[in-house]
Structure 1
Amino acid sequence: MLLQLFQQFSGIDAIMFYAPVLFQTVGFGSNAALLSAVITGSINVLSTFVGIYLVDRTSRRFLLLQSSVHMLISQHKYSSKAYVMGFAWSWGPLGWLIPSETFPLETRSAGFAVAVSCNMLFTFVIAQAFLSMLCEMRSGIFFFFSAWIIVMGLFALFFIPETKGVAIDDVRERVWKPHWFWKRYMLAEDDHQDVEKRTE
């Protein structure tokens, strides 16, 4: 759920939905603003392929952490194309990949359904609130999103375990149980078997 929240509260959909408006507010003409929005969308697509290439050559956590720094710097330099690039090779695709690798098979469909629902909810919230926030906060809107980028970077650093190369059947034992925080929510093997018996 938090991955989906961070994905939207990073400001990416606000930039993608309202790119022409944003470019016009910084002085672009209508045609130039529309062209810049098309270029930004193209960079988003191409950078996603970079993420596909890198995800198994580096690690999920490295991409998330690198991207958080990249996006934070890009926002303060007001470089939307660099910002979109950083998002598209990490938090964009990994916001969907990590939940698909996180849940064991018996809870995977329910867990992923919750993740998708949260993504749609937070997309709706940002889409509805952004223009009002922009009118009230003006350039301060970028500091709002920057604060969320810092929070999501810290979350990736401390709370997202590495799932690279871990089979779904081994997620519980190799990812969740050894994690310093999440292990407190994991059942012991005997308790887990008792739960499975009660649900049969």
Structure 2
Amino acid sequence: MAPAKHRGTLNIGFQLMTTLGILAANLINYGTSKMKGGIGWRISLGLAAAPAAIIATGSLFLPDTPNSLIERGYEKEAHAMLCRIRGTHDVQPEFNDLKSASEDSRAVKHPWRNILQRHHRPQLVMAIFIPFFQQLTGINAIMFYAPVLFKTIGFGSDASLMSAVMTGLVNVFATLVSIFTVDRLGRRKLLLRGGAQMLVCQIIVGTLIAAKFGTSGEGRMSRLYAGAVVTFICVYVAGFAWSWGPLGWLVPSEIFPLEIRSAGQSITVSVNMLFTFVVAQIFLTLLCRLKFGLFYFFGGWMIAMTVFISFFLPETKGVPIEEMVQVWRSHWFWRRFFEEENDIRQPESIRVTNGNSGDNSGGRDRRV
């Protein structure tokens, strides 16, 4: 529903709400930890019903998108909705593009088979590798286990919960940075700069912990030293929150043509959830085995993902979704997958130009 020039800003609103939810959860955990009788954790878990109720109620008032309405044959309602969300009645060119994209989408009977075709290879690779790399930044390990991590490096029980609140606040404010810059600087710059920032922080935190705990995992930190560790962890969280956090969702959401969008988004979400689960399960084991080396482990992945973005992700800011294929065609690496495009697309759609055929078509193209 978002216009192309504001698509990044509006899409990252999703991530902003996620970070606010994380902060709220950290505050609730800190507050309920003070309750007597050991009931705090029950209240903390039970309060999750509140946002669930809001989501369920809000879904009753959620409008359909123009794309969805066109897909289901409600073209009049789709036109009215497009006028409503654009704030103008001058939407016919965009409406025609949506109708054309919908017709192409309906012609594809098997989106899961279609996404494997050669000319969709760039989007398929991004749908897998971007969410995969997003989880291997190590952010979920730090956000899930922030209290455990901070307690391990010398903070008390309450202090570790408060440190988690601090990282939650950083997460929120850094996401605001992304909202205000993503449609100005572009996706690539934020991903590359954020990756570099996180890499430096991973190395510094790993080195600081190594200097005090070594390979034994035992040692003490002064309050000042521990504060330095928390500071760099917060800088790391900020780097994630204005780069890989929101853009790990934004970029996959805007690169798929309509005919494979459902399959592509399903792959993105599935890969993200799979590696969220994997990292959550292995983090404590890795922390016990690798100790300070855990930060170098995630730092190595930061190098890999930053190089990947540098070479293989084209800039997508301001490009209408229905024209996104042109971005891949002009990319130095991905254009090779479109070299035989005519052979691939001929069976689906053959264009016959009637300009010199002697009929009354006025030189317009006709699809056969």
Query: When the two structures are superposed, what TM-score results if normalisation uses the length of structure 1?
Result: 0.94
Aligned to 1:96: 249
Q: CA offset at residue 195 of structure 1?
A: 3.9
**Does 2:197 correspond to 1:45?**
no
In structure 2, C-alpha distance between the alignment counterparts of 1:84 and 1:193, rounded to whole Å: 48
**Which structure shows the bigger proportion of residues in helix conformation?**
1
In structure 2, C-alpha distance between the alignment counterparts of 1:189 and 1:169, rounded to whole Å: 19
In structure 2, C-alpha distance between the alignment counterparts of 1:195 and 1:13, rounded to whole Å: 43
Identify the match of residue 114 of structure 1 among 264, 267, 288.
267
Identify the match of residue 310 of structure 2 among 133, 157, 161.
157
Secondary structure of 2:263's aligned partner: helix
In structure 2, C-alpha distance between the alignment counterparts of 1:53 and 1:110, rounded to whole Å: 30
Aligned to 2:138: 11
In structure 1, C-alpha distance between the alignment counterparts of 2:349 and 2:263, rounded to whole Å: 16
Aligned to 1:184: 336
Amino acid at match of 2:199: L
- CA displacement 1:142-200 (0-9 Å, x = unmatched): 01000000001001100111001111111112x11111222222351452242468xxx
Q: CA offset at residue 36 of structure 1?
A: 0.4
Structure of larger gyration radius: 2
Q: CA offset at residue 46 of structure 1?
A: 1.8
In structure 2, C-alpha distance between the alignment counterparts of 1:142 and 1:157, rounded to whole Å: 22
Q: CA offset at residue 139 of structure 1?
A: 0.4
Query: Which runs of no fewer than 5 residues in structure 2 stay unpaired?
Result: 1-127, 206-231, 351-368
Runs of 4+ more than 4 Å apart? none
Aligned to 1:143: 296
Bigger relative CO (Cα 8 Å, ≥ 6 apart): 1
Q: CA offset at residue 45 of structure 1?
A: 1.8
Amino acid at match of 1:192: R
In angstroms, what is the RMSD of aligned CA positions? Answer: 1.3
Task: Provide the identity percentage.
Answer: 56
User: Across the two proteins, how many residue pairs are aligned to each other?
Assistant: 196
Amino acid at match of 2:139: I
Secondary structure of 2:133's aligned partner: helix
In structure 2, C-alpha distance between the alignment counterparts of 1:42 and 1:146, rounded to whole Å: 23
* Change over 3 Å in CA distance of 1:117–1:48 after alignment to 2: same
Aligned to 1:32: 159
- CA displacement 1:57-90 (0-9 Å, x = unmatched): 1010000000011001111222110000000001
Query: Which runs of no fewer than 5 residues in structure 1 stay unpaired?
Result: none
* Change over 3 Å in CA distance of 1:161–1:125 after alignment to 2: same
Query: When the two structures are superposed, what TM-score results if normalisation uses the length of structure 2?
Result: 0.52
